Amino acid sequence: MSYLTAFITGGILCSIGQILIDKTKLTPARILVLFIVSGVILTAIGLYEPIVKFGGAGATVPLTGFGYALVNGVIKEINNYGFLGIFTGGIKATAAGVGAAIFFSLIVGLIFRAHAKA
Amino acid sequence: MKRLGKKTVALTSTPHIIETSSIVGKKEGEGPLAKYFDFILEDEYWGEKSFEKTEIKILKENLNKVLQKAKKTPEDINYILAGDLLNQCISSSYAVRESEIPFIGLYGACSTMVESLAVGSMLVDGGFADNVIAMTSSHFCSAERQFRFPLEQGTQRTPTAQWTVTGSGAAIVSTEQKGPKITNVTIGQVVDMGIKDANNMGAAMAPAAADTIYSHFDETGRDPSYYDLIVTGDLGIIGGEILKDILLKNDINIKGRYNDCGILMFDSKAQDTHAGGSGCGCCGSVFAGYLYNKLQQKELNRILLVATGALMSPTAIQQGEAIEGIAHAVAIEN
């Protein structure tokens, strides 16, 4: 059952991205940023938590989930360390993802060369 | 009198295009025009380390090839007129580095093939040169990095996006009386219709093409039936429809004798090229390969080649400017 809800949730989020690419003049980079910011706002006003409860990884893996992780990290750090947590929380919570992205990009960059999609 | 009007001149000595040469990439070589190109690459790199170096090699090899085909040496050539899409037109300047031929760099974005033919033929007609080479190139991968996003980022392409052609076209314009001749040149003006979508260049360029074509007919007194084919550089499917509509509103009907190099180049359904091919190398290689062949075979006898350029700067777009369009036309006749 959790596979199905994750599939539906992730699918809907990605469909929104596809519709934005097809129907608006937004560049892909702007859509990515929009997804993160939307995730932050939805989490902050308490709307994203129920989506995560329903969809699990379907909600946390897409970029809106990155925004969700940022906000939860900030909230947690504020509870533990107070004011400074505003600045440290988001980065701490997402450090593993960001660090891994940089590390694996470097590895891939060293091994492979870019090609046009045929 | 050589000047017919504000934008059009007639070339009284009728410079001839005595030889052309074309090189295209792998994807272009899988398209419907494959058999007309002189050389087809096997991959995006051609043994080079970067896409930019590959594009320089494409242009350089095409220069050698056109000289070889015409049995000319670099000493026979008075000027090279060339341009491309990269910053500072590096493909062109590095490609001509070893040739020691006087070089005039042009930037007309995707209109460069006709811009170079136009200026080159006027130089020949004016008696300033006996032989000039007009050439241009583009490379899908270097153009994506220059204008959109680096390929490494793996972004999705939008439905209106066109596919920058990997390829090059080169032509020798000469006082020698053989091959098809350039009879008229119409130099277009910058047209800005406020289009800001970098993924919809066809719509940005169509009004410029309409303006140039309208001026050409107005100033030469010709009408579309004079030509076997009116062919634009890279308006693609969307831009081509807009062009036909604008011209029809001005009582010029080009339906039935219109085509576009970007549409001719690919099978858009089978090759997933969305709105069609684009880039300097699109008009360049389709002219130097396919159209020149048809002129030599006398299957086409009079064509109006209208190369369209989107003078797009990512920096200017980020600062809120719109994408300017430009189009130049040359009439080529047997």
Q: Tell me, yes or no, if A107 comes closer than 8 A to chain B by beta carbon.
A: no
Q: Which of A18, A22, A114 sits opposite B152 (nearest CB)?
A: A114
- B123-127, B268-272, B291-295: which has the minimum mean pLDDT? B268-272
Q: ipTM of the predicted structure? A: 0.76
Give the distance from residue A14's alpha carbon to the nearest chain B alpha carbon, in angstroms.
12
Under the banding of pLDDT at 50, 70 and 90, the label for residue A118 is low
Q: Which of B27, B151, B200 sits opposite A114 (nearest CB)?
A: B151
Q: Are residues B87 and B108 in the same domain?
A: yes
Chain A contact set for B30 (CB, 8 A): none
Chain B contact set for A29 (CB, 8 A): 149, 155
Q: Best-predicted range by mean pLDDT among B19-28, B194-203, B261-270?
A: B19-28
Q: Are residues B16 and B147 in the same domain?
A: yes
- Please report whether residue B3 resides in a domain: no
Q: Which of B152, B238, B317 to mutate to test the interface with A (most CBs of A within 10 A)?
A: B152
Q: Tell me, yes or no, if A28 comes closer than 8 A to chain B by beta carbon.
A: yes
Over range B161-172, report the average pLDDT. Answer: 93
For A17-33, how does the pLDDT look when each residue is reduced to its tens digit (9 = 90+)?
999 988 888 888 899 99
Boundary (domain end) residue, out of B129, B150, B174: B174
Q: How many domains does one find in chain B?
A: 2
Nearest Cα to Cα of residue B290 among B15, B20, B16: B20
Q: Are residues B68 and B167 in the same domain?
A: yes
For A54-79, how does the pLDDT look when each residue is reduced to its tens digit (9 = 90+)?
999 999 999 999 999 999 999 999 99
- Please report whether residue B252 resides in a domain: yes
Give the distance from residue B202's alpha carbon to the nearest chain A alpha carbon, in angstroms.
14
Under the banding of pLDDT at 50, 70 and 90, the label for residue B193 is confident
CA distance B184 to B125: 11
Q: Tell me, yes or no, if B270 comes closer than 8 A to chain A by beta carbon.
A: no
- Please report whether residue B273 resides in a domain: yes
The predicted pLDDT at position B200 comes to 76
- Please report whether residue B114 resides in a domain: yes
B3 DSSP 8-state letter: B
Q: Are residues B194 and B58 in the same domain?
A: no
- Please report whether residue B2 resides in a domain: no
Query: Angle between the A48-55 and A63-81 helix axes, to the nearest 10 degrees?
Result: 120
Checking if the pLDDT of B83 tops 80, the result is yes
Checking if the pLDDT of B242 tops 60, the result is yes
The predicted pLDDT at position B231 comes to 97
Chain A contact set for B152 (CB, 8 A): 109, 114
Boundary (domain end) residue, out of B174, B191, B208: B174
Q: Are residues B168 and B278 in the same domain?
A: no
Q: Tell me, yes or no, if B199 comes closer than 8 A to chain A by beta carbon.
A: yes
The CATH number of the domain where B214 resides is what? 3.40.47.40
Q: Are residues B128 and B221 in the same domain?
A: no
Burial B166-185 (b: 16+ CB within 10 A, else e): bbbbbbbbbeeeebbbbbbb
- Please report whether residue B321 resides in a domain: yes
Q: Are residues B147 and B247 in the same domain?
A: no
Q: Are residues B308 and B281 in the same domain?
A: yes
Q: Cβ separation of A114 and B141 shorter than 8 Å?
A: yes
Q: Are residues B191 and B277 in the same domain?
A: yes
Under the banding of pLDDT at 50, 70 and 90, the label for residue B178 is very high
Question: What's the token pair of residue B329?
Answer: 């036309």
Q: Tell me, yes or no, if B155 comes closer than 8 A to chain A by beta carbon.
A: yes
Checking if the pLDDT of A47 tops 90, the result is yes
Nearest Cα to Cα of residue B261 among B288, B222, B287, B299: B287
Q: Tell me, yes or no, if B73 comes closer than 8 A to chain A by beta carbon.
A: no
Q: What is the pTM of this model?
A: 0.89
Q: Are residues B240 and B300 in the same domain?
A: yes
Boundary (domain end) residue, out of B174, B190, B221: B174
Residue carrying structure tokens 């050409």: B216
Burial of A109 (0-12, 13-18, 19+ CB in 10 A): exposed
Q: Which residue of A has its CA nearest to B139?
A: A116
Q: Which of A28, A115, A116 sits opposite B156 (nearest CB)?
A: A28
Range of the domain at B308: 181-333
Q: Are residues B114 and B241 in the same domain?
A: no
CA distance A74 to B176: 76
The gap between the terminal CA atoms of chain A, to the nearest Å, is 37
Q: Are residues B158 and B186 in the same domain?
A: no
- Please report whether residue B256 resides in a domain: yes
Q: Which residue of B has its CA nearest to A20?
A: B158
The predicted pLDDT at position B156 comes to 76
Q: Tell me, yes or no, if B104 comes closer than 8 A to chain A by beta carbon.
A: no
Burial A16-31 (b: 16+ CB within 10 A, else e): bbeebbeeeebbbeeb
